[in-house]
Structure 1
Amino acid sequence: MSEKAIVVYSGGMDSFTVLNTAIKEGLEVHAISFNYGQKHSKELVVAAQVCRDLGVSHKVVDITAINSLMANSSLTGEADIPEGHYQDNNMKSTVVPNRNMILLSMAIAYAVNLEASKVYYGAHSGDHHIYPDCRPEFVAAMNAVSLIANYQAVDIVTPFLQASKGDILNAGLQMGLDYRHTWTCYNGREKSCGKCGACIERLEAFAEQGQIDPLIYEA
């Protein structure tokens, strides 16, 4: 019987690559996605379709009841999504307070319930500047807690923690992944905006790899 693993799966290109990495490692993968009131909830639709296509168990958890606790973020509140690069100070408005601690805690509980030994998530070096809950020190601390919080120890696995977005894309391309089946834009419109930090970083990753992003953009 294969070892079980939970993958925190947003539907974006990072978690898409992580999901497929875990599958290729021979693990019995169970994907979990969260609706926390994000404007770009289109990512959940994309995630569900990918899991159906792959035949992967997929649970979508509605935690929108806590949205009012995190409404100061432009991803969950009334403020407009900022435009520009992640290095720009205005991108701090996209930080959702305590998001990864909340999501990982629930993923760990799911892992214990299914007797899975690992929880995978897609933190990477491009997020370190703007998102504290994607930094190595957060991952190390969260993993230390995860190993002692239950009778069953659960490892938090971040295969791309020190990798760039371009590195992640390259790994996925080497696996033959099709990134049409992902959603990155922070605006949940029909097409990607091409101007938010998430879009800019994605486009730069494709350019770095000498590839054309298969998604359609407004601009």
Structure 2
Amino acid sequence: MQNNKVVVIYSGGMDSFTVLNKALQDGLEVFPLTFNYGQRHVKEIVFADAVCNRLNLAHEIVDISAINHLLQGSALTSDIDVPEGHYVQDSMKATVVPNRNMIMLSLAIGYAVSKGANKVYFGAHSGDHAIYPDCRPEFVEKMNAVAKIANYQPVEITTPYLNLDKGQILADGLKMGLDYSQTWTCYNGRDKACGKCGACVERLEAFANNGAIDPIVYEDAQSL
């Protein structure tokens, strides 16, 4: 009998939202896993939980914020201004959280074993390769090798969008009829998205490239 159980690392952002729905549309039994690591944009967790409630999924939110003091030096976890601009700019390295994805994947693999799932879905994509070392193909390849031997039950790390950019991910999601008002992307966790941080800039670019209108509200909508 084929194992159709999968764990999806689900942040509440556009990419993981698309991955989550892709897994569901593929008929898989999905266990969404969300991490609170003390991120400035903790609002994304609220969006993730709302989506899982709507889909009637057993959503695990894991608080690992106690290790926040070990992951200092990032604009997402420390008292450092979030840089503005595109991910191609060197300044965006300030948003790298040390070892974040290795920690999350390790916990997700353990969760998969406990649930009898054989895959962990992870929303890394090519737009992140320039800035985030733990989103690059070589990182995923090495982590996948470890995931297959770390337990008696091998687990595969699945990255359906690893070699696609955010615009291509959005295109796939739009084909699925997904509602992206149910996602939060901005690195600033304020009432409205800033429209200026790297996450917002890339999101807006993705919608523009698809000839679509972003359904969320931005702080300075007239200038976008």
Aligned to 1:155: 156
Aligned to 2:141: 140
CA distance in 2, matches of 1:126, 1:56: 29
Aligned to 2:61: 60
Amino acid at match of 2:67: I
CA distance in 2, matches of 1:139, 1:57: 26
Summarize deviations over 1:45-92 as a string: whole Å, max 9, x none.
000000000111110000011000112101000001111111111100
Aligned to 1:78: 79
1:89 corresponds to 2:87 = no
Aligned to 1:202: 203
Show structure 1 runs of 4+ deviating over 4 A: none
Give the superposition deviation at 1:99.
0.3
Map 1:105-116; keep pairs closer than 5 Å: 105-116=106-117
CA distance in 1, matches of 2:136, 2:172: 21
Identity score, percent: 65
CA distance in 1, matches of 2:40, 2:157: 27
CA distance in 2, matches of 1:63, 1:128: 25
CA distance in 1, matches of 2:112, 2:151: 11
Count of aligned residue pairs for this structure pair: 219
Aligned to 2:176: 175
Aligned to 1:31: 32
- Alignment partner of 1:57: what SS? coil
CA distance in 1, matches of 2:138, 2:166: 19
Amino acid at match of 2:32: A
- Alignment partner of 2:196: what SS? coil
Aligned to 2:217: 216
Give the superposition deviation at 1:203.
0.0
Stretches of structure 2 lacking an aligned partner (at least 5 in a row): none
Summarize deviations over 1:13-34 as a string: whole Å, max 9, x none.
0000000001011110000000
Aligned to 1:41: 42
Cα RMSD after superposing both structures: 0.8
Give the superposition deviation at 1:137.
0.3
Give the superposition deviation at 1:175.
0.2
Stretches of structure 1 lacking an aligned partner (at least 5 in a row): none
- Alignment partner of 1:156: what SS? strand
- Alignment partner of 1:184: what SS? coil
Amino acid at match of 1:82: P
CA distance in 2, matches of 1:35, 1:202: 22
CA distance in 2, matches of 1:194, 1:3: 38
Q: What is the TM-score when the length of structure 1 is the normalising length?
A: 0.99
Aligned to 1:165: 166
Aligned to 1:20: 21
Give the superposition deviation at 1:3.
1.2
Summarize deviations over 1:119-147 as a string: whole Å, max 9, x none.
00100000000000000000000000000
CA distance in 1, matches of 2:72, 2:187: 15
CA distance in 1, matches of 2:43, 2:178: 20
CA distance in 2, matches of 1:56, 1:134: 26
